[in-house]
Amino acid sequence: MGARYLAGRLATAGVTILLIVLLNFILFRALPGSPERLLLGRIPGVTQQVLESTKARWGLDKPLFPDQFVAYITSTAQGDLGFSYGARGRPVTDVIGQRLGPTLLLFGLGEIVAVIVGLALGAYSGWKRGGVFDYLGNGLSLILYSTPYFLLGMGLLLLFATGLGWFPTFGMVTAGATYAGPLEYLADLGSHLALPLATVSLGLVGQYAIVMRSSVVETLSEDYVTTARAMGLRDGRVLRSHALPNALLPTVTLVAINLGYVVAGAITVEVVFNWPGLGTLTVNALSSRDYPVLQGVFLLLSVGVVFANLVADLVYGLLDPRVRA
Amino acid sequence: MAPPGARTRAGIDPRTGDPRLFRQVLGRPDGLAGIAILTVFTGFALAPDLLAGPLQTAVTASGPRLAPPSLAFPLGTDELGRSIANLTIHATRISMVIGLLATLITVFIGAGLGIVSGFVGGRLDALTMRIADFFLVIPTFVLAIILVSIIRDVLGTGSREIFGIRLSLIVIVIVIGITSWSATARIIRAQTLSLRERAFVDRARVIGASGPHIMRRHILPNVTNLIVANAVLTFAGAVLTETTLSFVGLGDPFQPSWGQLLEAARSVGAPGLGAWWYFLPAGICIVLVVFAFTLVGSALDDILNPKRRGRR
Amino acid sequence: MSGSEPVATRALPRLAERSAPLLEVEGLRTHFQLGHETVHAVDGVSFRLERGEALGIAGESGCGKTTTALSLIGLLPPNARIVEGSIKLYGIDLATRSETALRRYRWREIAIVFQGAMNALNPVRRILDQVAEPMVQRLGTGEREAHEKAGDLLELVGIPRARARAYPHQLSGGMRQRAMIAMALACDPAIVIGDEPTTALDVMIQAQILELLQRLQKQLGLSLILITHDLSVIAETCDRVMIMYAGLVAEEGAVAEVFTRPRHPYTQRLLAAIPNIHAERRTLETIPGSPPDLRYPPPGCRFAPRCPVAMDICRIEVPSEVRFADGVRVACHHYPAGSDGTPVTLPTDAPYGTR
């Protein structure tokens, strides 16, 4: 892998993260309306004295640049994201950290399932172009693409939890339950995970299938695939060895680009199922105007997406020799 | 009739001039279906009072609470006793107008930046594209949430209306606009780059035409079709974004959009209670409208992109 | 790859008839289905290829030359099919064989080198691997041995072993074309089809590639079918030439004969359109008009609408092929059966190209 390619990507990622931090800073310090008023939210009984002490405490009486900015950057770099109001002054990092696990579980598994199923369906669709499977799959994918994730979630909840009673209707584990052993815990977790996972996966599968399909169709009409056929190679070999490695390339890019958008869906799915992750945290922080938490989540998610994009770029570099410098 | 691809003096391909484009879209099954669906919803949006009477409020609600569909209330009632049918039809106007306004802003910013950036090139172009890439990477949804709350807190609440939409929702329109322009900008810029190299632009330059003049009279007409195609898909995205923003609590209960209805349904616990009539109508409307836009967008894409139509 | 073995000791396919000609195509008709309409891309083409021979197929774009080639290996797109005719390889009719049966002959008997090396090589795999692949997959050669032999083949076509591990995008156009030739030779085929092998290459590289093909032909006893719209390429490399027009054969014979004494008006016009450095300066001849729409081929001779010496009968009746003493076959009403075969003179007094 070319060192230049790697260095270039790292540099871009670094700059982007810096810009995110800057944006975060600007959002809360540099917008009109005194920041201390924003920070205090709508707590009643705010006197001038409280305002002054808040100002001092947060260093808001110093000039924006460079003092406030530098202070902000150093404290962020040290992992200090401030304190949440909603959680009675607990550090934001704590609050977020607690919710990170469930989100990673739901979201990570969802992406994995969607990638595997979506790519397989798309590849099959593209190979068997024009068949019944293709049209049905295409139509279904388009409809799924037009459906907000949370709507899917509500529908699934209605059908399978309320209607059929197969799954619980909210939460990650049954509240106040005790378990005889790890297996029981996993079973409980699993039954709570099933519907939200299905929702996230369904929402993503459509897009991946559509892109993979068109990528496969495009690849199959390339000259090197015709050459492979002319060589007398069997269909399976042509697909596996020649078509798919090339068809995968745009999909890798898509998975990465998509991450920014999928965050919206993930947040709402958690809300529907009351899944104790970053999504519900965000929505609760939103309604209580807990800005430090909101800021922290934005920072975390943005950096996470940038990082994931970086990984995707590296994977792409591994797959496609043409981009390696 | 000029052969396909023939250039008129201004470089416009007569085959895809705007009125023809619309007819071409109607000629395809996906385009036709999409336009048909959108026409129905436009009807709802333009005359909700005619179809369902004035928007019901907590005061004018007359039905049983959270009741399933019946003869009197064909789509059931919500927890306040309002007719879901009434709410859903009125919500059409809100969702569609917000979508439309947000699309206008997005396309205006995106196409404007795309044309200028692509035409001028150099450092301006590099800078603009860096910013666009930035917005493409970050999760704009979380940013939008933050922006909407901050701006609302700063502006305060009120019942002023612009274009018949309350201020609080206009904030959503603006925020969607300023966070979604990147994709449009990239697409239009790419087209501008290729147009810039064409002969008719050089001719214009040689006779001394200025930059803005060339951009307006030569580049713009040739990207119009692309802008239209992109606007259609942007509209779909804007509707989805507004829906999601409303769902997380940023909607306005006084002017419910479909997303706001869904949020209300969820907070009442409709799915858990089996009250399917509360959220399915709004949900189906959303899916239909976005699907319709996607169909039209796909039809436009096929028409404007001859490469896609069969090979060799 | 020994170069001095006589051709006859090459292992023949199981079903081959020893005495049959290498390749005999008779009355081939391949049609495309476009919606409700049928494109008669190849509408009655016959020719023969002997061992060690190089046949050039020439004609304008759309005349059916590539479709003919694809028909030979059965690689037609899904909306095309061979509606009539036979393609006999060593007497085995490939036109009637199923896809699975055909696959057996691909590359091992007939290999093809496509034009435009841009995308004909898999961009994510190394050249060496791509040349070795048919050996491993079709001949069952072991991986290591196949890579050894692939390296040899690449050297044979002029790519040094050090470059063998390169990816296609790292090679120039000429080298990519050479790599494709090496790939085509991997299974020691009897016939190599080159579809516009030198188009998109500059003249110097073009000459090198042609010279390579000629050398390989002699060294390995290959039979070549060279498809191109460039007559000078055929004149340099081929023994026989077949001129196609609108899906039919206009004229076919030894290069020496056809190029010095062209009979068919189309052939004459084609040759006249080649600028000749040695002849005196004159305005370039072009052939006015364009080839017919093959969804609705004209009745009678397909060249009649553009022919400077078309007669009434030309617009009514399709001319049949007539073979003359010098081995040249022509399909033109000016050369009915029994005529002496003197070339008809075209109205302009420009000399037709000579070598």
Collect all residues of chain B within an 8 Å Cβ-Cβ radius of residue A294: 142, 145-146, 149
Tell which phi-psi region holds residue C116, choosing left (phi > 0), alpha (psi between -120 and 50) or beta.
left
Which of the four pLDDT bands, split at 50, 70 and 90, describes residue B272?
Answer: confident
Check whether A107 has a pLDDT greater than 50: yes
Rounded Cα gap, residues C25 and C45, in angstroms: 7
- Alpha helices by DSSP H, chain A: 3-25, 35-40, 48-58, 69-77, 92-127, 132-145, 149-156, 182-220, 223-230, 235-237, 244-273, 278-287, 291-319
For tokens 């981009």, what's the residue? A323
B247 vs B30: which has the higher pLDDT: B247
Q: In terms of DSSP bridges, do strands C223-228 and C54-58 run parallel, antiparallel, or are they unpaired?
A: parallel
Q: So what's the pLDDT on residue C25? A: 93
Whether the CB-CB separation of A118 and A212 falls below 8 Å is answered with yes
The H or E element that residue C84 is part of is strand C80-89
Summarised one tens digit per residue, pLDDT across range B130-156 is: 899 889 888 889 899 988 988 887 777
Alpha-carbon distance A109 to A116, whole Å? 11
| Cα–Cα distance for residue pair C130/C126, rounded to 1 Å | 6
The pLDDT tens digits for A63-94 are 666 677 777 777 777 777 776 666 666 778 88
Considering only CB atoms, C119 lies closest to which of A224, A230, A245, namely A224
Contact A206, A140 (CB under 8 A): yes
| Confidence band for B8, pLDDT divided at 50, 70 and 90 | very low
A242 touches chain C (CB under 8 A): yes
Instruction: Count Cα atoms within 13 angstroms, Cβ side, for C53.
Output: 18
- Structural contact between residues B292 and B33, judged by C-beta atoms closer than 8 angstroms: yes
- Residue A182 Cα distances to A100, A185, A190, A194, angstroms: 21, 5, 12, 18
pLDDT given at position A198: 92
Instruction: Give the pLDDT band (50/70/90) at residue B2.
Output: very low
Contact state of C122 with A234 under an 8 Å Cβ cutoff = no
pLDDT-derived band at C5 (thresholds 50, 70, 90) equals: very low
Cβ neighbours of residue A28 closer than 8 Å, sequence gap 6 or more: A35, A38, A39, A291, A295, B150
- Judged by CB atoms closer than 8 Å, whether chains meet at A260 and B274 is answered as no
For testing contact with chain B, the best of A211, A221, A286 (most B CBs within 10 A): A286
> Is the Cβ of B233 closer than 8 Å to some Cβ of chain A?
no
| Cα gap C330→C320, rounded to integer Å | 8
- Give A182's contacts (C-beta < 8 A, 6+ positions apart): none
Nearest to A231 among C106, C119, C123 (CB): C106
pLDDT in tens, A210-269: 889 889 988 888 888 988 988 988 888 888 888 888 888 888 888 887 877 788 888 899
Q: What is the pLDDT of residue C1?
A: 42
Helix, strand, coil percent content, chain C, rounded in steps of 5: 35, 20, 45
C92-120: average pLDDT = 84
The answer to whether A232 contacts C106, with C-beta atoms less than 8 Å apart, is yes
Q: Which of A226, A231, A319 sits opposite C138 (nearest CB)?
A: A231
Interface test with A, best of C73, C100, C109, C137 (most A CBs within 10 A): C137
Q: Which residues of A touch B271 (CB under 8 A)?
A: 154-155, 157-158, 161-162, 169, 272
Closest among B296, B273, C242 to A154, alpha carbons compared: B273
> Distance from CA of residue C25 to its chain's centroid?
13
Q: What is the Cα gyration radius of chain B?
A: 22
Q: Do B262 and A267 touch (CB under 8 A)?
A: no
Q: What type of residue sits at position B262?
A: L
pTM score over 0.90: no
pLDDT greater than 70 at residue C8: no
Q: Mutate which of A128, A221, A222, A224 to test chain C, going by most C C-beta atoms within 10 A?
A: A224
Supply the mean pLDDT for chain A: 81
Q: Is B149 on the interface with A (CB under 8 A)?
A: yes
The verdict on a CB contact (< 8 Å) between C134 and A231 is yes
- Residues 114-143, chain B: which have Cβ within 8 Å of A? 134, 136-143
Higher pLDDT, C137 or C347: C137
CA distances from A83 to A94, A264, B113, C201 (A): 9, 24, 39, 68
How does residue C133 score in pLDDT terms, banded at 50, 70 and 90? very high
Q: Closest Cα to residue B141, out of A271, A205, A83?
A: A271
Eight-state DSSP code of residue C344: P
User: Contact at 8 Å (CB) between B265 and B79?
Assistant: no
- Average pLDDT of the segment spanning A8-32: 80
pLDDT higher than 60, residue B52: yes
Residues forming beta bridges with residue C88, ordered by sequence position: C24, C93
Question: Pick from C67, C65, C62, C88: which is nearest to C77 by CA?
Answer: C67
User: How close, in Å, is residue A155 to chain B by CA atoms?
Assistant: 7
pLDDT at site C127: 92
Rounded to 5 degrees, what are φ and ψ at A179?
-120, 145
Query: Which of A228, A231, A322 shows the shortest C-beta gap to C123?
Result: A322
pLDDT at C61 exceeding the cut of 60 = yes
Contact indicator for C122, A322 with CB cutoff of 8 Å: no
Q: Does the beta-carbon distance from A227 to C137 stay under 8 Å?
A: no
Q: Out of A97-111, B5-19, B158-172, which region has the weakest mean confidence (pLDDT)?
A: B5-19
Share of chain A above pLDDT 70, in %: 84
Chain A residues within 8 A of C119 when measuring between CB atoms: 222-224
Residue of C nearest to A128 (CA): C78
Q: Do A234 and C103 touch (CB under 8 A)?
A: yes
Query: B258 near B88, Cβ under 8 Å?
Result: yes
The rounded distance, in Å, linking the Cα atoms of C225 and A97 is: 70
pLDDT above 90 for B107 = yes
A174 touches chain C (CB under 8 A): no
The amino acid present at A300, given as its one-letter code, is L
Q: Is the Cβ–Cβ distance between A298 and B146 less than 8 Å?
A: yes
Q: Which residue of A31, A158, A221 is in closest CB contact with B271?
A: A158
Q: What confidence tens digit (pLDDT) does each residue in C307-326 have?
A: 888 889 889 989 988 898 88
Q: Which residues of A touch B149 (CB under 8 A)?
A: 286, 289, 294
Q: For residue range C211-261, list pLDDT tens digits in order.
A: 888 888 888 888 999 998 888 889 888 999 999 999 999 999 999 999 998
Which pairs count as long-range contacts for B267-273, CB under 8 Å and 24+ apart, including other chains? Answer: B268/B66, B268/B78, B268/B79, B270/A154, B270/B66, B271/A154, B271/A155, B271/A157, B271/A158, B271/A161, B271/A162, B271/A169, B271/A272, B272/A157, B272/A161, B272/A162, B272/A169, B272/A170, B273/A162, B273/B66
Q: How far apart are CA C233 and CA A50, in angstroms?
A: 91
pLDDT averaged over chain C? Answer: 85
Mean pLDDT of A41-63: 65
Tell me: the pLDDT tens digits for C259-286?
998 999 999 888 887 766 666 666 666 7
Of the candidates B153, B250, B291, the beta carbon closest to that of A143 is on B291
Q: Which of A227, A249, A316 to mutate to test the interface with C (most CBs of C within 10 A)?
A: A227
Tell me how many residue pairs between chain A and chain B have CB atoms under 8 A apart: 142
Answer whether B250 sits within 8 Å of A286, measured CB to CB: yes
* pLDDT recorded at residue B16: 47
Chains in contact with A, where contact means 3 or more Cβ–Cβ distances below 8 Å, are B, C
CA distance C136 to chain A (A): 11
User: pLDDT-based confidence at B15, cuts 50/70/90?
Assistant: very low
Q: What number of C-beta contacts closer than 8 Å exist between A and C?
A: 70
Give one DSSP letter per residue of C205-257, joined into a string: HHHHHHHHHHHHHHHHT-EEEEEES-HHHHHHH-SEEEEEETTEEEEEEEHHH
ipTM for the complex shown: 0.83
From chain C, the residues in CB contact with A230 under 8 A are: 73, 75, 106-107, 111-112
Give the nearest chain A residue to B135 (CA atoms).
Answer: A260
**A10 phi and psi angles, rounded to 5 deg:** -60, -45
pLDDT at A1 over 60: no
**Is the CB of residue B250 less than 8 Å away from at least one CB of chain A?**
yes
Å between A225 CA and nearest CA of chain C: 8
The pLDDT score that the predictor gives to residue C351 is 47
Which residues in chain C have their CB less than 8 angstroms from residue A229's CB?
Answer: 75, 106
**Structure confidence at residue C352 (pLDDT):** 44
pLDDT of residue B9: 39
Chain C residues lying within 8 Å of A126, measured CB to CB: none
Residue C142 predicted with pLDDT over 60: yes
Q: Does A232 touch chain C (CB under 8 A)?
A: yes
A-facing residues of B in 185-224 (CB < 8 A) are none
For residue A146, the SS3 value is coil
Q: Determine the residue among A34, A145, A147, A151 to mutate to test chain B binding: the one whose Cβ has the most chain B Cβ atoms within 10 Å.
A: A151
Tell me which residue of B145, B101, B95, B99 sits closest to B257, measured CA to CA.
Answer: B95
Residues of B in contact with A145 (CB under 8 A): 294
CB distance C329 to C321 below 8 Å:
yes
pLDDT at B60 exceeding the cut of 90? no
In chain B, the percentage of residues whose pLDDT exceeds 70 is 91
Q: Phi-psi region for residue A292, left (φ > 0), alpha (ψ -120 to 50) or beta?
A: alpha
pLDDT in tens, A139-157: 888 888 888 899 999 999 8
B260 or A73: which carries more pLDDT confidence? Answer: B260
Q: Do B260 and B246 form a contact (C-beta atoms < 8 A)?
A: yes
